[in-house]
Chain A
Amino acid sequence: MLPLSYALRNLFRDKSRLIQTVGGSALVVLLIMAATALNGGMAGVLSASGSPRNAILIGTGSEESIQRSEVAAQLGGIAEAGIPGVLSALGTPAASTEIHYMSFLEAKDGTRGQGLFRGVTLRALLVHPEVRLLEGTFPGAGEVMVGRLAWRKLGIAEEKLQVGSVVKLDGSEMRISGIFAAPGTVMESEVWAVLGDLYMLAQRDTASCVVLRMEEAKDFSEVELFSQQRLDLELTALRESDYYSALGAFYRPLRVMTWITAGLVAAGAIFGGFNTLYAAFASRIRELATLQAIGFGRGAVFFSLVQESVIACLAGTLLASVIALVFLDGRTIPFSIGAFTVSISPQVAIAGLGTGILLGVLGAVPPAIRCLKPSLPKALRS
């Protein structure tokens, strides 16, 4: 075996080639890490947003968008009385009548952004137990409560959405009563108001849905049965987790595009790497033949060449990891129904490391084989 120091010394023989290899691999690894983190973040927020214990009753035909759904305002009462298995907390059934309404919020300085508004009652806290008030109070009439990531989704400065600030919703001034968290869910990007206010602001006399929290996930069949027994109400029952999974499927083309982009850049980088390493190894054919002549086997020389390439790519991986941690980790990315936080998790780091090693091996094998293919006398004379 050739010593590791031989491979290390060779790396620094041509500094411009080294920069090219390290830079190229860093770019590819960074793209793969970003694609993994973005896809994981979006899929994670959508899957965490729906609980399998929650059932949603929406209007038939609106299965793909709660915002389009219309159900009778009194459905909550009918459902909690007619469906067995609904969770009850201190005698209050966990049945939340809600309005989901997409509109614009305007800050005091005139900046405005589009976001999702949810009209709720206190019962929403029974069906969405992940919601926690961080500051202030639950909204009353003329007030709203904002999710801690709502500023990112709305594109309004965070300091404009503090407790006590006044904002405009559809021309009506509303005071921010509180800030809430709902870790890892789309609710963190929403603005919640009392149901009565949203009936008025959205100019509707119907709700969007009724969310029921069941004692057990298997009790969902009771909700589905209710929707069939009450054909006159024209309802569809959905598991909340299924609703958000379906939304995840809607965003699949977007996620596929990020992978295709990363894949194309990676393919380009691999071919670029081939060229660089062909040139680097070809200029050393006689040296490699001499090593064989003095007793090093072809396998040992081949391994050393691959080692050289892998070390360069791992340096690129390290660089990409540092860039990802500094510039990507913790960033909030808005998308149409909310926002998610990018996290450079161990899985993302492993994806980056795997890509770096793969690039090093794939990039070195064909040029190494080509340079070691000629017979020893021919190589020594080249």
Chain B
Amino acid sequence: MKTKLILALACASLSVISCEKKQAETSESVSSANPSLEKFFTEEAFADAEAIHAVKLKAKPGDEVVLRGQLMGRGKVFVDGRASFILGDPEKLTPCNQIPGDGCETPWDACCDDKELKLASTASIQILGEDGRVLDGGLRGIGGLKELSEVTLKGVVAEQSSTDLLLVNATAIHVTEP
């Protein structure tokens, strides 16, 4: 009886510790988010969205573009504490979870695709503030956004963009499939 009581108390204290840890993690992710970022997320998808590889062929700095894609193409698709992420082209890249038998822990890095293909099929998305700097606050979690989320977005091709690099200053983002 006494042993059972001790075991029950031990389990209860462990579960309390575990809950506290989860609460701490959640509050940390919420605290790093910037509430003003939510206004960039819309409820409606953009019907005329194009694939990244197609946009890359024709887009020039200053052009307004509408893109569709999936958050993938790198081991780390978000920047901690900054409004930026990497968008990959699902028509060209294959996340590891779509490869049967692949147990990759970070399927969004599309590690089975070669470097050149990744370079041609990814775009860097960022949200700028009025001062022209990338806004503070991480984007993970806003509107359910996470690695491998499917999104459509509208934005303007940044000045730094080139034939190899598509950098888009997003003005509106819709998370199609969180």
Contact = CB atoms under 8 A, between A and B. Distances in A.
B165 A231 contact: yes
B119 A231 contact: yes
Given A60-B74, A225-B134, A231 B82 contact: no
Nearest to B138: A221
A231 B79 contact: no
Contacts of B122: 231
A230 B79 contact: no
Given A231-B86, A231-B124, A232-B162, A225 B79 contact: yes
A230 B165 contact: yes
A234 B86 CA distance: 13
Interface in A341-360: none
A231 B75 CA distance: 13
B80 A232 contact: no
Contacts of B164: 231-232
B82 A225 contact: yes
A217 B75 CA distance: 22
B66 to A, nearest CB: 20
Nearest to B77: A228
A248 B85 CA distance: 29
B126 interface: yes
A147 to B, nearest CB: 32
A61 B160 CA distance: 24
B126 A229 contact: yes
B21 interface: no
Contacts of A221: 79-82
A224 interface: yes
Interface residues of A, number: 13
B145 interface: no
A60 B80 CA distance: 18
A225 B165 contact: no
B115 interface: yes
A232 B165 contact: yes
Nearest to A223: B79
B84 A225 contact: yes
Contacts of A225: 79, 82, 84, 126, 134
Nearest to A84: B133
Given A60-B74, A234-B115, A234-B119, A229 B124 contact: yes
A228 B119 contact: no
Interface in A51-101: 60-61, 63
Contacts of B84: 225, 228-229
Interface string B57-96: 0000000000000000011000111101110000000000
B157 to A, nearest CB: 13
A225 B74 CA distance: 13
A60 B75 CA distance: 9
A236 B73 CA distance: 13
A225 B127 CA distance: 12
Interface string A247-274: 0000000000000000000000000000
A243 B178 CA distance: 31
A61 B73 CA distance: 12
B167 interface: yes
A228 B81 contact: no
B79 A228 contact: yes
Contact of B160 (A60, A63, A229, A234): A229
Most buried by B among A60, A61, A232: A232
Interface string A191-227: 0000000000000000000000000000001001100
27 contacts: A60-B74, A63-B75, A221-B80, A221-B81, A224-B82, A225-B82, A225-B84, A228-B74, A228-B79, A228-B84, A228-B86, A228-B126, A229-B84, A229-B124, A229-B126, A229-B160, A229-B167, A230-B160, A231-B86, A231-B119, A231-B122, A231-B124, A231-B164, A231-B165, A232-B119, A232-B164, A234-B115
Give 3 closest A-B pairs by Cβ, nearest first.
A232-B164, A232-B165, A224-B79
Interface of B: 74-75, 79-82, 84-86, 115, 119, 122-124, 126, 134, 160, 162, 164-165, 167
Given A231-B86, A232-B162, A232-B164, 15 more contacts: A60-B115, A61-B115, A221-B80, A224-B79, A224-B80, A225-B79, A225-B82, A225-B126, A225-B134, A229-B84, A230-B160, A231-B124, A231-B165, A231-B167, A234-B119
